[in-house]
A and B are shown apart, each in its own frame.
Chain A
Amino acid sequence: MTDVTSDVVAIIAKKVRVENHPKIELTDRLEALGLESLDAVEMIFDLEEKFDIEIPYNANTNNPRTEFDTVGDVVKSIQKLVDKKS
């Protein structure tokens, strides 16, 4: 795993019920992990803080469960924002 991947996975892992998902895989679907809307807002905050990036997100119009199918999709999107920064 790259640094971004392991950091993103760790941040997502904080928001899901660990007992159901002892290990998060990149192929895991966000919907299956049971992320609620407040979880998503907190997760996005953690990602922004961790990588010093801005993620455009409005809870009324964005739905992370439909925009990002899997954990791997989130990693890819964060990687892009991080690359853009450097």
Chain B
Amino acid sequence: MNDVNRVVVTGLGTITPLGHTVAAYWANLKQGVSGLGPITLAATSEELNQKVAAEVKDFDPLKYFEERELSTLDRVSQFAVVAAREAIAQAAISFDMPLSLRTATIIGTGVGGQNTLDESFRRVYLEKRTRVFPLTIPKLMANAPASQISMHCGLRGPAFAVASACASATHAIGLAFHMVRSGQIDCAVAGGTEACITFGTLRGWEAMRVMAPDACRPFSKDRKGLILGEGAAALVLEPLDRARARGAEILGEIAGFGMSADAADLTAPDLGGMTRAMEGALADGKLEVQDIQYINAHGTGTAANDVAETLALHRVFGEHAGKLAVSSTKSMIGHALGAAGALELVATLLAMRDAIVPPTIGYLGPDPACDLDYVPNEARALAIDAALSNSFAFGGLNAVLAVKKFS
């Protein structure tokens, strides 16, 4: 494969429950720090049965935006722009003409501007007010994060949102990767964002009966479900030849992308769908199963996902499955739905760069149905040449990215 058809990552940006920058996020992931804590964002949280979530703490939007800008930016868009700016700054790229016209903005979100929606509903239904804020609609629309990044960063190429619940960010990055690889665009800012810790959303999750009361313990015995999270991550993708020509620091290579739909149950995971997405990513990246050392698992901590994902890994990797390091960073950052895949891909790329696998924390001991090496509770030094990052969404939509160490 020539350099034109290789796609590399030259910038990373995050805002997370473990810190507001990639450096803080990664330092805490490596140390196995939990980003979970008491819910403070939902105004009437004392009424909620659920008491714990992974919130982005101490986020002051005025540190990043002018006060007049905030009337146009839901928290979900604030996160997206903050992450994108960090990624672009690291890539040290300037979007002058004509590159601006050839740069895509593709941002996943599961549910969009939930804070704006909740606030609007509160005024209309509870307070019986006759007016809502004038920019309610363009703040809550699902494409607002993508639009705001394009506006704030001056990106004039293809820009849109991707929504596939918990796989949104992975679909967004995968699509951006394929567009760069095919030469359709010269650069992409891609990722995902979510800010869904609101009273109304939490009530919805409570009704699903899938949340753990205290901690997220993926693949562990006595796991009790997922913990909701929030945040954003963005990546700058470009063709290798372009990155080389401008002397950019290359943080890793996106090698392959696979997607599938279960066409089965609305919420129950499906072995076939998971398997086909992983096999698709490997095939797309011309990778053999033996090439992979690390899996950043979807690993939600629900009873059903973790067993199905384990079985799917056995099916795809055969005997090699036992040699894989598999970890779920959701144990530390919760499940940030449409942002999850991007936050996890950043973790995967940094694990590969620094040869350190972030752990699955809160692990109490093996569940007989989850029999792989989940890197329990402590990070581990491991040379990684290639890795997968898995995302499996409600609705049976699966997306998997394969990354390679750049050499």
Once the chains are docked, how many angstroms separate the CA of A44 from the CA of B267? 17
**Per-residue 0/1 for A18-40: is the Cβ within 8 Å of any B Cβ (1 yes, 0 no)?**
00000000000000000011100
Interface 9-residue window, one of A6-14, A56-64, A69-77: A56-64
In the complex, which residues of chain B have a beta carbon less than 8 angstroms from the beta carbon of A61? Answer: 224-225, 303
Once the chains are docked, how many angstroms separate the CA of A23 from the CA of B224? 35
Please state if B266 and A59 are interface contacts (CB–CB under 8 Å): no
Please state if B267 and A60 are interface contacts (CB–CB under 8 Å): no
How far, in Å, is B275 (CB) from chain A's closest CB?
A: 21
Chain B CB count within 10 A is highest, among A38, A41, A44, A59, for A59
**B302 at the binding interface (Cβ < 8 Å):** yes
Please state if B303 and A59 are interface contacts (CB–CB under 8 Å): yes
**B151 at the binding interface (Cβ < 8 Å):** no
**Per-residue 0/1 for B54-71: is the Cβ within 8 Å of any A Cβ (1 yes, 0 no)?**
000000000000000000
**Per-residue 0/1 for B301-318: is the Cβ within 8 Å of any A Cβ (1 yes, 0 no)?**
111100000000000000
How far, in Å, is A40 (CB) from chain B's closest CB?
A: 8
Please state if B210 and A60 are interface contacts (CB–CB under 8 Å): yes
**B208 at the binding interface (Cβ < 8 Å):** yes
In the complex, which residues of chain A have a beta carbon less than 8 angstroms from the beta carbon of B208? Answer: 41, 59
Chain A: CB-nearest residue to B267: A38
Please state if A37 and B304 are interface contacts (CB–CB under 8 Å): yes
**Per-residue 0/1 for B202-217: is the Cβ within 8 Å of any A Cβ (1 yes, 0 no)?**
0000011111110000
In the complex, which residues of chain A have a beta carbon less than 8 angstroms from the beta carbon of B212? Answer: 58, 60
In the complex, which residues of chain A have a beta carbon less than 8 angstroms from the beta carbon of B209? Answer: 41, 44, 57-59
How far, in Å, is B220 (CB) from chain A's closest CB?
A: 11
Chain A: CB-nearest residue to B222: A61
Chain B: CB-nearest residue to A61: B224
In the complex, which residues of chain A have a beta carbon less than 8 angstroms from the beta carbon of B211? Answer: 58
**A45 at the binding interface (Cβ < 8 Å):** yes
Chain A to chain B contacts (Cβ below 8 Å), 28 pairs? A36-B265, A36-B268, A37-B268, A38-B265, A38-B267, A38-B268, A41-B207, A41-B208, A45-B207, A57-B209, A58-B209, A58-B210, A58-B212, A58-B213, A59-B208, A59-B210, A59-B302, A59-B303, A59-B304, A60-B210, A60-B212, A60-B223, A60-B225, A60-B301, A60-B303, A61-B224, A61-B225, A61-B303
Extra contacts besides A36-B265, A38-B265, A38-B266 (10): CB < 8 Å:
A44-B209, A45-B207, A58-B210, A58-B213, A58-B224, A59-B304, A60-B210, A60-B224, A60-B225, A61-B303
The 6 A-B pairs of least Cβ separation, nearest first, read: A60-B303, A60-B225, A59-B209, A41-B209, A60-B224, A59-B210
